[in-house]
Structure 1
Amino acid sequence: MQEQFRGGQKSCQNNLGRDSNIELLRLVCMLFILLHHFIVHGSEFVTAPSVWLTIMNSFLVIAVDCFVLISGYFGIKAKWKGFIHLYVLCAFYSVFLTLFSFYETGQFSIKEFLFSFLVFSNSKWWFIQCYVYLFILSPILNIVIDSISKNRKVFIALLLIGSILTFYFGYLWKGSI
């Protein structure tokens, strides 16, 4: 079995088995996401001071980024079957929640009902849209990662450029990057 190297690290892309440490990390990330949502959306049920909740939440929000890193480590294999499966799953929940909303409010809107099928472009679920962007870009990203892993200087340059775009323009100046 031929090993691939990504940024100096051996990739698990050619491994057939699962890594139990990565699976444990995924479970911990899921727990972090649940706790994050509880703090953000259910904090009125908690009697702890909001400062402690903010501090705790600052450690929990890393879970989504960790999921993206795990996906990148294993390499996202973009296939139509996976894309269709994701759409059907998201559309089911979107339509179900929209119909439930109509039932609760007693008001039906054909426009809102039709928009509930546009889960990738007209959704309130930002993480689904981000995953679709990653899914669409994954073949290009996989090619770039495979080609730059052979040239350490290009890898470091791209890492620095991405970091500057993210941290300086994104976080520091609150840009839309």
Structure 2
Amino acid sequence: MWMVAEHKRMANYELLRIVAMIMVVILHFLSRSDNLINLDLPLNGVRILGTLLETFCLVAVNTYVLLSGYLGIRSSFKVSRAVGLLCQIWFYTFFIFFICSAMGITTAASTRGIYGLTEYLFPIETEHYWFATSYFMLYLLTPVLGLAVKNMTKKQMQITLGGLLILFSVIKSISPVAFAFDRYGYDLPWFICVYLTAAYLGRFGFPLMEKRGWLFYAGSCLGGFIINLSMWFLSQKWDSFRYYFTVPFHYNFILCLSGAVGLLYGFSQIRIKEGTLAEIIRRLGSLSFGVYLFHEHIDLRYLWYDSIKAVINPQGKGGILYFLRELIFCVLLLFTAGIVIDWIRSRIFALVGKIFYNTKPGRRLKEMDLCLRPNLRADGSMEDLYEK
């Protein structure tokens, strides 16, 4: 029997959520600072180190979706949660736009007029944030996915999931050419695959990885790095290897998925004692999505690195020490600022929510949530939804 998760969030998985978001910031730093191995540039220590860091952080996106499936599949879908997520995205699109406009910073609206304005009004439809778009659409599908997971046998899930992974991951991972069908994992179909993978793991487990999570994580990441580095050398002689040079850094690359699963199981073995530390981790985990919405805003994503570098490395000096200095400073600043802003946002939403839920639309929203809740037992506790 798959036990129902406790209402209180598990601190070890919230810690993983925090780590995954820090990894996302590192990935964006490496991209913006151009500190990755490039086929058209010679190798150097900074680029090799940057690429090695990227391979260990690339699992972050899959990890975030795995957490949603591994934990979220045990809870009921809420319309209010979907509305809250959309409002959170809107908060950032407009809040940062107004701040940038007030400070005289160029915005999408000021450069592209009505077309730029639509990216604030319709952030999901325009993919203002590509991850938020796929993540939001995935959440809307969770009632359907949850019913599928609930009613399928282990064998049925293995066949279905195996077919999806072969189609979306295995074949592209060994193909020397790009497919028109392939979106490199930057889309909803791949998120569904990852979500169902997590649901399978949560329901049936994966004994091979349960005690070897850290080993699978490290092995998968190092494997991706070795493949990427090997393709760099081969591409210097044969152009036909240039495409596969990029494959280890696609989210639907098989080693990127196995690395994320390994990381999930690694953190599942961590035990955090209940108390102040656990509560702080839970709070930071609940605010971590705001870090992404802050630094990847369309008006900031190509601005923050140059602005920070101008302060801590104005002469643009190179070398590993300067690279690490920039990396640490950017990660600390962006993560801290994102957490603070989202804490303020959460306080505003809590205040508005108290007023809103006493209105007619608010009461209607609560009624819809109740309609979608699992049945209750006679003792008032939630029934177990999933059985092996």
TM above 0.5, yes or no, is yes
Range with greater deviation from structure 2 (102-111 or 29-38): 102-111
AA partner of residue 166 (structure 1): F
Indicate the residue corresponding to 1:51 in structure 2.
48
* TM-fit CA distance, 1:143: 0.8
Q: Distance in 2 between matches of 1:169 and 1:117?
A: 38
Residues 22-171 of structure 1 mapped to structure 2, 5 A cutoff = 22-43=13-34, 48-75=45-72, 77-99=76-98, 100=100, 103-105=104-106, 107=110, 109-148=113-152, 151-171=153-173
Alpha-carbon distance in 1 for matches of 2:29, 2:169: 27
Q: 1:41-90 deviations in whole A, cap 9, x for unaligned?
A: 2346xx95212211210110101111111111112543221122122221
Equivalents in 2 of 1:42, 1:79: separation in Å?
40
Amino acid at match of 2:122: L
What is the aligned length? 164
The amino acid that maps onto 2:92 is: Y
Q: 1:101 to 1:168 in 2, by over 3 A?
A: farther
- Seen in structure 2, the aligned counterparts of structure 1 residues 114 and 33 have a Cα distance that, compared at 3 Å, is closer
Is residue 20 from structure 1 mapped to residue 19 from structure 2 by the alignment?
Answer: no
Instruction: Kindly provide the CA deviation profile for residues 21-45 of structure 1, in whole angstroms up to 9, marking residues without a partner as x.
Output: 212222221221222222122346x
Q: TM-score, normalised by structure 2?
A: 0.38
How far apart, in 1, do the equivalents of 2:155 and 2:94 lie?
48
Is 2:23–2:60's contact at 8 Å kept on the other side of the alignment? yes
Paired with 2:131 and 2:16, the residues of 1 have a C-alpha distance of 19
128-137 or 161-170, which deviates more = 161-170
Q: 1:89 and 1:152 mapped to 2: Cα distance?
A: 37
Q: CA, structure 1 residues 114+159, in 2 after alignment: closer, same or farther (shift >3 Å)?
A: closer
Could you list the runs of 4 or more consecutive aligned residues of structure 1 that deviate by over 6 angstroms after TM superposition?
Answer: none
Q: Which has the larger radius of gyration?
A: 2
What is the alpha-carbon distance in structure 2 between the residues aligned to residue 155 and residue 169 of structure 1? 20
Query: Structure 2: which 5+ residue stretches go unaligned?
Result: 36-43, 184-188, 190-388
Q: Cα deviation per residue 1:88-132 (whole Å; 9 max; x = unaligned)?
A: 221122123444269424847244224411011113311111111
Which amino acid in the other structure matches residue 67 of structure 2?
I
Unaligned 5+ residue runs, structure 1?
6-10
Distance 1:42 1:101, change over 3 A: farther
Q: Is the 8 Å Cα contact of residues 98 and 113 (structure 1) preserved in structure 2? A: no
1:144 deviates by 0.9
Taking structure 1 as the reference length, the TM-score comes to: 0.78
Secondary structure at the aligned position of 1:91 is classed as helix
